[in-house]
Amino acid sequence: MYGSEHMFVYGELTSGGVVGTVRGHPDPPGPPALGVLAERARPTSTSRTRVLVVHDPLAPCLPDGGLRRGSVVRCSGEGSLSLALALIGRISGTGSWCGLVGVGDVGALAMVGYGVDLDRLAVIHAPPVPWTQVVGMLLDGMDVVVANSSGRPRPAAARQLVARARHRHAVLVVVGTSPAWPAPADVHLRVTDGRWQGLGRGFGSLQARRVSVVVQGHGSGARPVERELWLPDAAGRVAPA
């Protein structure tokens, strides 16, 4: 298990089992503790840099060449969580705070491979309060929040999160394999045609996955564009295919 004394965790981080509360706060991570967490992150999220820089292979997938503050990005399809982790890798590596909400079992080594700085990461696996409330609180203090939308939030609640991200100059990245996000997204990245390599006939191990990413946005980005990526490559990183 790869760990960090500064990573904030609630619930299991890996199948090996790390269970804890928001570190540095004695109570279970309900609204008060989550508020403390967002407050700790707030100084880094006051930057007025309009676009948060992503890894070079992902820049062509985004209309602004990065994650624009105040926007909502939807990642769907098998491999959508891997894509979301790759999106935040360089961002957290340059000092921005990021949060993961309800994304299930995520391996820390996989996150590190994509460049995620665990010292700038909050992981909330089992939200102690309504999902939308947790996401909203993290948007108040973090630069990027990745949230699993499989809980099917109500349209009104989803629209409130969109408005909150814009107001706080944060980025909301919604992941999920089903069409469960009922609000508009500025960019939709759909992962398709994933093909793992490394397995032979009864031998070998999974080493790399080649995927197609269909990109669709608004305005000039309304026409779908398809990109080929390694997600991950043999070294665990995102790379052009």
| CATH number of domain containing 158 | 3.40.50.300
Tokens of 121: 């990461």
Rounded to whole angstroms, how far apart are CA atoms 210 and 144? 26
Q: Which residue has the higher pLDDT, 125 or 187?
A: 187
69 has pLDDT over 90: yes
Look over the chain and give the mean of its residue pLDDT values, rounded to a whole number: 80
Q: Closest by alpha carbon to 120, among 147, 84, 89, 87?
A: 89
In the block, which residue shows the tokens 């000039």? 220
pLDDT at position 49 is: 78
pLDDT tens digits, 206-218: 689 999 999 998 7
133 has pLDDT over 70: yes
Half-sphere exposure of 159 (CA within 13 A, CB side): 3
pLDDT tens digits, 78-131: 899 999 999 999 999 888 999 999 887 788 889 999 999 998 898 887 766 788
Q: Tell me the range of 3-17, 28-42, 57-71 where mean pLDDT is highest.
A: 57-71
Q: Which residue has the higher pLDDT, 42 or 139?
A: 139
**Which of 83-100 are b and which e, b meaning 16 or more Cβ less than 10 Å from the residue's Cβ?**
bbbbbbbbbbeeebbbbb
Say if 122 falls within a structural domain: yes
Say if 12 falls within a structural domain: yes
Say if 3 falls within a structural domain: no
**CA distances for 29 relative to 53, 156, 200, angstroms:** 30, 25, 45
Q: Closest by alpha carbon to 82, among 216, 170, 211, 188?
A: 211
Predicted TM-score (pTM) of the model is 0.82
E strands of the chain, at which residues?
A: 8-10, 51-53, 66-68, 72-76, 98-101, 121-124, 144-148, 171-176, 187-199, 204-217, 225-230, 239-240
154 has pLDDT over 90: no
Domain residues for 148?
8-240
Say if 144 falls within a structural domain: yes
Rounded to 5°, the CA angle 131-128-136 comes to 40
224 has pLDDT over 60: yes
- Domain total for the chain? 1
pLDDT at position 150 is: 74
Please state whether beta strands 144-148 and 98-101 pair in parallel, antiparallel, or not at all (unpaired). Answer: parallel
48 has pLDDT over 80: no
Say if 189 falls within a structural domain: yes
Q: Tell me the range of 12-21, 69-78, 175-184 where mean pLDDT is highest.
A: 69-78
Percentage of the chain surpassing pLDDT 70? Answer: 71
Say if 174 falls within a structural domain: yes
Rounded to whole angstroms, how far apart are CA atoms 182 and 233? 33
Say if 152 falls within a structural domain: yes
Rounded to whole angstroms, how far apart are CA atoms 66 and 187? 11
